[in-house]
Amino acid sequence: MNEIWAGIQAAFRLIVTLDPDLVQITLRSLQVSLSALVIASAIALPLGTWLAIRRFRFRRLTIATLNALMGLPPVVVGLIVYLLLSRSGPFGVLGLLFTPTAMIIAQVIIITPLIASITHQAMRELWAEYHDLLISLNTTKRQRIWTLIRDGRRTLLTAALAGFGRAIGEVGAIMIVGGNIDNATRVLTTAIALETGKGDFTLALGLGFVLIALALLVNFAIHALSRTEREGRW
Amino acid sequence: MVKHPMSVELEQAIITRRGTQLLGPIDLSLSGTGFTIVLGPNGAGKTSLLKVLHGVTRLSSGRVRWSVPDKEAREAQAYVFQKPIMLRRSVRQNLAFPLQLLNFPKAEIAERVTHWSGRIGLEDALNRPATRLSGGEQQKLALARALIREPQVLFLDEPCANLDGRSTLEIEKLLLAASTAGTRIIMTTHDLGQARRLASDVVFLLNGKVREQATAQDFFSAQQTEEAQAFLNGDIIE
């Protein structure tokens, strides 16, 4: 209990003093996770919506696979991305291993199925509601997808936030592909793992509280920006 | 807008689903003008007939033949559903939606939205979420959203079901105005009073087949079949 209290105090101290290391690590965490979120959303939102409205031969199998991929073990993803980006791998020439870009790639792979799957569930319901109208209005596939994404944006926001939550809290994959290099690829989660390993629980807990606060802050900020909670706003 | 009448013919139209014949065989010819009311008991195939004519339900066999090319015919039609489908948007955005799909200029969209919101008495509710309107208001909005494109043919599937007398009257006024302006209307209803008030001609369906097709005057004064007589008398027919 004392350690938790000490952790809260450490977090408070780190934030109030704007500890340079903390600021740098936090900004890198945000940079990596938000970049991954934007890229994954750009792939997953149209994909999930497309799966909701399109009928094709292996649709059920595709959806089942997508749902199964939600449970991808991050460590395995990290390992595969590591092998792909390592010097002897097919993309080794790009020199991306142990860079924030590699961490973003790993996070995109981890969160894309999650966002796409939640999107598909939500869009399936909205499509059932809109189906007759959009067919009657002779809309193109592109117009249907765009209409669903636009009108289902609240649910899609939830999907994106779920993806962000998974990305910002991820440690296994980014540890492998990022290497937890100080001033280069160290982020909050890998820093927590490092401090825990060193036995500095107070600092680890402090960073942990900062991580939780950050996740909450981003959630609130996105909700506020999109005005989703404001009564009557459309 | 100058409207050229679009007539339509159904030839041996049949819809079969899972081995059950839902509609047909139907041979039907509808002229390019007028106000057709499709009557019949539940399950007679009224909605299926409308959807087939509109092209949103495919025939198992037979064909629908418009007097203009299919693409042109589809673009000149609008459909109002029994339960109004409201986009999760404001009244203004619901009205603007069909025009935006057709890439109308913004100024014209704004002008038409203002005009139609006034016609349906929702000019003060333009920024309200459409899903929070009453049932009658939603149906008027759905009708305005269909008419805002100035369709040549308008299909309505029991648009006044579950509405009170006042809302029904308001919708009927809009429909008569559209009909007078040259819009071809094909509508289903269970309300015989409404059919008498609006119809120029009647198609009577039973068990997926056309049992009578006549002018409204002929249909309501001298039915040709016992089933139609029984239906108008309020008897239960099968």
- Under 8 Å between Cβ of A47 and A174: no
* pLDDT score, position A62: 92
The domain segmentation of chain B, as residue ranges, is 8-232
Write the pLDDT tens digit of every residue in A64-97.
999 999 988 999 999 999 999 999 999 999 999 9
* Residues of chain B positioned with their CB less than 8 A from the CB of A142: none
Instruction: Please report whether residue A62 resides in a domain.
Output: yes
Residue A90 belongs to domain spanning: 31-185
* pLDDT score, position A229: 45
* pLDDT score, position B19: 84
Which two structure tokens, joined as six digits, stand for A30? 């945000």
Of A27-41, A203-217, B77-91, B169-183, the one with minimum mean pLDDT is A203-217
- Under 8 Å between Cβ of B139 and B120: no
Q: Does B74 touch chain A (CB under 8 A)?
A: yes
CATH for A107? 1.10.3720.10
> pLDDT confidence of A144, banded at 50, 70, 90?
very high
Q: Where would I find the beta strands (DSSP E) of A78-162?
A: none
- Under 8 Å between Cβ of B168 and B190: no
Distance, in Å, from the CA atom of A76 to the CA atom of B212, rounded to the nearest integer, reads 70
- As averages over each run of 10 residues, the pLDDT of chain B (238 residues) reads 77 90 90 94 92 91 92 91 93 96 95 95 93 92 94 94 87 94 94 94 94 94 90 82
> pLDDT confidence of A8, banded at 50, 70, 90?
confident
Any idea what DSSP says for residue A87? T
Instruction: Please report whether residue A225 resides in a domain.
Output: no
Instruction: Please report whether residue A5 resides in a domain.
Output: no
* pLDDT score, position A1: 67
- Whether pLDDT at A112 is above 50: yes
* pLDDT score, position B162: 77
* Residues of chain A positioned with their CB less than 8 A from the CB of B90: 234
DSSP codes, chain B: -------EEEEEEEEEETTEEEEEEEEEEE-SSSEEEEE--TTSSHHHHHHHHHTSS--SEEEEEESS-HHHHHHTEEEE-SS----SSBHHHHHHHHHHHTT--HHHHHHHHHHHHHHTT-GGGTTSBGGGS-HHHHHHHHHHHHHTT--SEEEEESTTTT--HHHHHHHHHHHHHHHHTT-EEEEE-S-HHHHHHH-SEEEEEETTEEEEEEEHHHHHHS-SSHHHHHHHTT----
Instruction: Please report whether residue A161 resides in a domain.
Output: yes
Q: Which of A133, A144, A151, A154 to mutate to test the interface with B (most CBs of B within 10 A)?
A: A133
Instruction: Please report whether residue A22 resides in a domain.
Output: no
Using DSSP, state whether A99 is helix, strand or coil: coil
Residue contact B87–A147, C-beta within 8 A: yes
Q: pTM of the predicted model, to two decimals?
A: 0.79
Architecture of domain B8-232: 3-Layer(aba) Sandwich (3.40)
* pLDDT score, position A130: 94
Domain count within chain A: 1
* CB contact burial B70-87 (16+ within 10 A = b; e otherwise): eeebbebbbbbbeebbbb
* pLDDT score, position B3: 60
The whole-angstrom distance between residue B34's C-alpha and the CA centroid of its chain comes to 12
Instruction: Please report whether residue A20 resides in a domain.
Output: no
* pLDDT score, position A9: 82
* pLDDT score, position B219: 94
Distance, in Å, from the CA atom of B228 to the CA atom of B39, rounded to the nearest integer, reads 9
